[in-house]
Amino acid sequence: MKIELKEIGEFPVEVSIFEDKKETKFVIEGLTLVDGVNAHLSIQQTDTEYYLNGVCTADVELVCARCLEAAKMSLAGEIEIIVIRETGSAERFEDTDDVIEIDDKEILDFSEQVRQALLAAIPLKPLCSPACLGLCPTCGGNRNTSPCVCPAPSGDNRWDALKGLS
Ligand SMILES: [Zn+2]
Ligand SMILES: [Zn+2]
């Protein structure tokens, strides 16, 4: 995902970029892009730097943690980038992935920042739906699509002993 900073005439400015999945260079393991990636950024300029911040969003398909079927969801990640226009001034900033040095052409490629932002936005347990019933622990069937007749796993038996007392 790229932006030609030199082409922007006035600052601060709000920019929206869409990159089709065919053009997207990065890969996030375990995840497929449905359409592509959107980025909405506000950009500020100083004599020596550009400051970009905003969000990137993407509709993605990944694997449901409960039923292992495809789960579609929208991810939104935050982006903050400092772009150094003047070589040699990078030492003033901590060495992080969020600081990028560019040359005179001022074409910023921030694909890696987008990749990291989307990666961080993936939920720990992605679900196809909040109500996903998951796989049956007994027969392994997908309980969303084929309700099985397996007995419910007998969980807590501690009270069974009391049943005979009444
Ligand atoms: Zn599921
Ligand atoms: Zn079952």
How far does the centroid of ligand 1 lie from the alpha carbon of residue 12, in Å?
Answer: 43
For residue 70, the ligand closest to its alpha carbon is 1
**Residues 144 and 71 grouped into a single domain:** no
Instruction: Determine the average pLDDT of the residues in 11-21.
Output: 96
Q: How far apart are CA 111 and CA 121, in angstroms?
A: 15
Q: In this prediction, what percent of the chain has a pLDDT beyond 70?
A: 87
Identify which has the larger pLDDT, 96 or 29. Answer: 29
Torsion, Cα 151 156 157 158, to 10 degrees, reads -170
For residue 144, the ligand closest to its alpha carbon is 1
The tokens describing 123, both together, are: 């939920």
Band (pLDDT 50/70/90 cuts) for residue 25 is confident
Entry pTM = 0.82
The tokens describing 155, both together, are: 């969980």
**Residues 29 and 54 grouped into a single domain:** yes
Q: What is the pLDDT of residue 85?
A: 85
How far does the centroid of ligand 1 lie from the alpha carbon of residue 157, in Å?
Answer: 29
**Residues 95 and 139 grouped into a single domain:** no
In the chain, the DSSP E strands lie at 2-4, 13-20, 32-45, 49-63, 70-84, 99-101, 107-109
**Residues 114 and 142 grouped into a single domain:** no
Domain of residue 119: give its range: 2-132
Q: What is the DSSP letter of 135?
A: B
**Average pLDDT along the chain:** 90
- For 39-84, the pLDDT digits (tens) are 999 999 999 999 999 999 999 999 999 999 999 999 999 999 999 9
Q: How far apart are CA 16 and CA 42, in angstroms?
A: 9
For residue 68, the ligand closest to its alpha carbon is 1
**Residues 46 and 107 grouped into a single domain:** yes
Q: What is the DSSP letter of 91?
A: G
Q: What is the pLDDT of residue 126?
A: 96
SS3 state of residue 51: strand
Number of structural domains the chain divides into: 2
